[in-house]
């Protein structure tokens, strides 16, 4: 992947127009992750549709800077052609091919800023295999992972901090119609 530089863009939060909610603990050295509430809702809905097997998808958005650099998640694409088990999820060659095609067609100006998958009733963490996926396919500083446990109703983001992948909080941007 060519080197991606952050694009100048004001934070997706207009004072007095949108409400924001911080979920989890924001780490001072991590990139703030802004997630639109509607996107978070669709990810949680998708995650709840299978409580027996893992499922996953991709986070679409951008890498920006305002006063500081940040990540914005604006859309979600469910993964297709995966191989799933009760405690495993594998992306296949066809998963990646279909992701590339969908992004080219539907989100030509956006980046794949991360991935999501579920851990039904296992809790939210990154397994050794999850770390393998993250290190190999989401190695950019602006690429994050979201793990959802639809049974325990937990979810958590993870991102790079130097060579480690650490859990981090995020900022949920409520849509204007709600505020
Ligand atoms: Zn996992």
Tokens of residue 41, six digits: 């809702």
0.85 exceeded by pTM: yes
Structural domain includes residue 76: yes
Reduce the DSSP state of residue 84 to 3 states and report it: strand
Query: Whole-angstrom Cα distance, residue 29 to residue 160?
Result: 10
Q: What angle do CA 42, 19, 44 make, to 5 degrees?
A: 15
What string of pLDDT tens digits covers the 179 residues of the chain? 668 999 999 888 765 666 888 999 899 989 999 999 999 999 999 999 999 999 999 999 999 999 899 999 999 999 999 999 899 999 999 999 999 999 999 999 999 999 999 999 999 999 999 999 999 999 999 999 999 999 999 999 999 999 999 999 999 998 765 44
- Say how many Å lie between the CA of residue 5 and the centre of ligand 1: 29
Instruction: Give residue for tokens 């499922």.
Output: 55
Answer positive or negative: Cα dihedral of 32, 135, 112, 46: negative
- Say how many Å lie between the CA of residue 13 and the centre of ligand 1: 31
Structural domain includes residue 179: no
CATH code for position 107: 3.40.140.10
Number of domains in the chain: 1
- Domain carrying residue 51: 7-173
- Say how many Å lie between the CA of residue 66 and the centre of ligand 1: 33
- Say how many Å lie between the CA of residue 51 and the centre of ligand 1: 14
């Amino acid at each position: 992947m060519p080197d991606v530089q952050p694009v100048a863009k004001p934070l997706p939060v207009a004072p007095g127009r949108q409400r924001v909610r911080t979920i989890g603990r924001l780490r001072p050295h991590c990139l703030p992750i802004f997630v639109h509430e509607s996107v978070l809702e669709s990810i949680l809905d998708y995650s709840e549709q299978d409580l027996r097997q893992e499922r996953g998808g991709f986070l679409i958005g951008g890498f920006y800077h305002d006063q500081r650099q940040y990540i914005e998640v604006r859309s979600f694409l469910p993964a297709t052609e995966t191989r799933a088990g009760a405690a495993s999820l594998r992306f296949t060659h066809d998963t990646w091919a279909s992701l590339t095609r969908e992004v080219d067609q539907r989100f030509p100006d956006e980046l794949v800023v991360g991935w999501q998958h579920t851990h039904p009733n296992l809790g939210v963490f990154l397994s050794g295999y999850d770390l393998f996926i993250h290190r190999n396919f989401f190695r950019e500083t602006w690429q994050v992972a979201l793990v959802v446990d639809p049974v325990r109703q937990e979810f958590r983001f993870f991102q790079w901090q130097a060579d480690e992948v650490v859990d981090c909080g995020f900022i949920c941007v409520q849509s204007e119609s709600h505020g």
